[in-house]
C-alpha cells in the first residue's frame, strides 16, 4: 500500500478525477490512500496568503516558504518513510522508470505550485526530488500531481485487473508497445494480421517483439539507445533497417 499526500491551494481540483475508474477502485480496496490538503490552512495571516512579491523585483508572485514548511511538518508520517516531491517545470522529466521507483515508496508527498514559482528555500531545504511532466508550463501543479498518482498507482500490485499487462506496455521494457487488435477479425476490409489468429503462441510472441522494435525504431529511436536488447533483437532491428520486415 502506498499513501499520497497532495499539498495545493486548490485541492478541490483533484477530487473528481480520483473518484473514477482504477484510482477509485484502488482506494476502495485499500491499495492506495490519498490525502488532499490546502496549503492555506497553514498560513497565519488574516488573508491566508501563500504568496508574496519576489525580492529584487520581477513579475508575478512567489510561493512562500512558511506555509509550505508547516504543511509538510503536519502531513509527514513518523511511522512510514516518505519522499517529498516538488512538481515544477525545472524538475527531472517524469518517465515510466521514475514511476517504477516511486511505486516502491510507502509515502509520497506532492507539492503543487502556483503563481511565478517557489521560494528557493523550499527547493533547498524541504523537498527530496523535483519532477516535471514535460517541457511546457501549466497554471499549477495539480494536473502534474494527478499524472504522477495515476502512473505510480497502476504499478501497485492488484490495482490493474491483470498485473502482467504492465510489463507489455509502452516504456515498461524500454520499447513502445506492439500493435493491438480485437474482434471482429475483419471490418470494412481492414483485417487483423494472420499470425494473431493462428493460435501459435511462439510465433505470436516473435511477431509482437518484432513489431515493438519496429514501432520504436520508427517513432522513438532514442529509446533504443537505452533499451536492453538481446542478440536476436539486434538481428531483427537490422532487418527492419534494411526494410526486410
Q: Which pLDDT score, from 0 to 100, does residue 154 have? A: 96
Length reported for the chain: 245
Residue 176 makes CB contacts below 8 A (sequence gap 6+) with 170, 212, 215, 216, 219, 220, 223
Q: Which pLDDT score, from 0 to 100, does residue 217 have? A: 96
Phi-psi category of 223—alpha, beta or left, where left has phi over 0 and alpha has psi -120 to 50?
alpha
CATH T-level topology, domain 2-153: Alpha/beta knot (3.40.1280)
What is each CA distance from 33 to 30, 196, 217, 223, 232, in whole angstroms?
7, 40, 39, 33, 43
Q: Which pLDDT score, from 0 to 100, does residue 114 have? A: 86
Q: Which pLDDT score, from 0 to 100, does residue 167 have? A: 56
Please name the residue ranges forming H helices in 178-230: 201-219, 221-224
Encode 22-52 in three state secondary structure: HHHHHHHCCCEEEEEEEHHHHCCCCCCCCEE
Please state which architecture CATH assigns to domain 170-241: Orthogonal Bundle (1.10)
Determine contact, residues 60/72, Cβ cutoff 8 Å.
Answer: no
Determine contact, residues 65/127, Cβ cutoff 8 Å.
Answer: no
Pairing of strands 62-63, 51-52: antiparallel
Any idea where the domains of the chain sit in the sequence? 2-153, 170-241
C-alpha to C-alpha distance for 88 and 110, rounded to whole angstroms? 11
Q: Which pLDDT score, from 0 to 100, does residue 174 have? A: 86
Determine contact, residues 92/122, Cβ cutoff 8 Å.
Answer: no
Q: What is the pLDDT along the chain (245 residues), one digit of tens a residue?
A: 999 999 999 999 999 999 999 999 999 999 999 999 999 999 999 999 999 999 998 888 999 999 999 999 999 998 888 999 999 999 999 999 999 999 999 999 999 988 888 999 999 999 999 999 999 999 999 999 999 999 999 999 999 976 656 655 666 678 999 999 999 999 999 999 999 999 999 999 999 999 999 999 999 999 999 899 999 999 999 999 999 98
C-alpha to C-alpha distance for 46 and 157, rounded to whole angstroms? 45
Q: Which pLDDT score, from 0 to 100, does residue 166 have? A: 61
Amino acid at each position: 500500500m502506498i499513501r499520497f499526500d497532495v499539498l495545493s491551494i486548490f485541492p478541490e481540483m483533484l477530487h473528481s478525477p480520483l473518484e473514477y475508474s482504477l484510482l477509485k477502485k484502488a482506494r476502495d480496496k485499500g491499495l492506495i490512500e490519498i490525502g488532499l490538503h490546502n496549503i492555506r490552512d497553514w498560513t497565519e495571516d488574516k488573508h491566508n496568503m501563500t504568496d508574496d512579491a519576489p525580492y529584487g523585483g520581477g513579475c508575478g508572485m512567489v510561493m512562500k516558504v512558511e506555509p509550505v514548511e508547516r504543511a509538510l511538518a503536519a502531513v509527514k508520517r513518523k511511522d512510514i518513510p516518505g519522499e517529498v516531491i516538488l512538481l515544477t517545470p525545472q524538475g527531472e522529466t517524469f518517465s515510466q522508470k521514475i514511476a517504477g521507483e516511486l511505486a516502491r515508496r510507502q509515502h509520497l508527498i506532492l507539492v503543487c505550485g502556483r503563481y511565478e514559482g517557489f521560494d528557493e528555500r523550499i527547493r533547498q531545504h524541504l523537498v527530496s526530488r523535483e519532477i516535471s511532466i514535460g517541457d511546457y508550463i501549466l497554471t499549477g501543479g495539480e494536473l502534474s500531481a494527478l499524472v504522477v498518482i495515476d502512473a505510480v498507482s497502476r504499478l501497485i500490485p492488484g490495482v490493474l485487473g491483470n498485473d502482467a499487462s504492465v510489463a507489455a506496455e509502452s516504456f515498461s521494457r524500454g520499447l513502445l508497445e506492439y500493435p493491438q487488435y480485437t474482434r471482429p477479425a475483419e471490418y470494412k476490409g481492414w483485417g487483423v494480421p494472420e499470425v494473431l489468429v493462428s493460435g501459435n503462441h511462439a510465433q505470436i510472441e516473435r511477431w509482437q517483439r518484432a513489431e515493438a522494435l519496429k514501432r520504436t525504431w520508427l517513432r522513438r529511436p532514442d529509446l533504443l539507445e537505452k533499451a536492453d536488447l538481446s542478440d536476436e533483437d539486434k538481428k531483427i532491428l537490422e532487418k527492419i533497417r534494411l526494410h526486410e520486415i
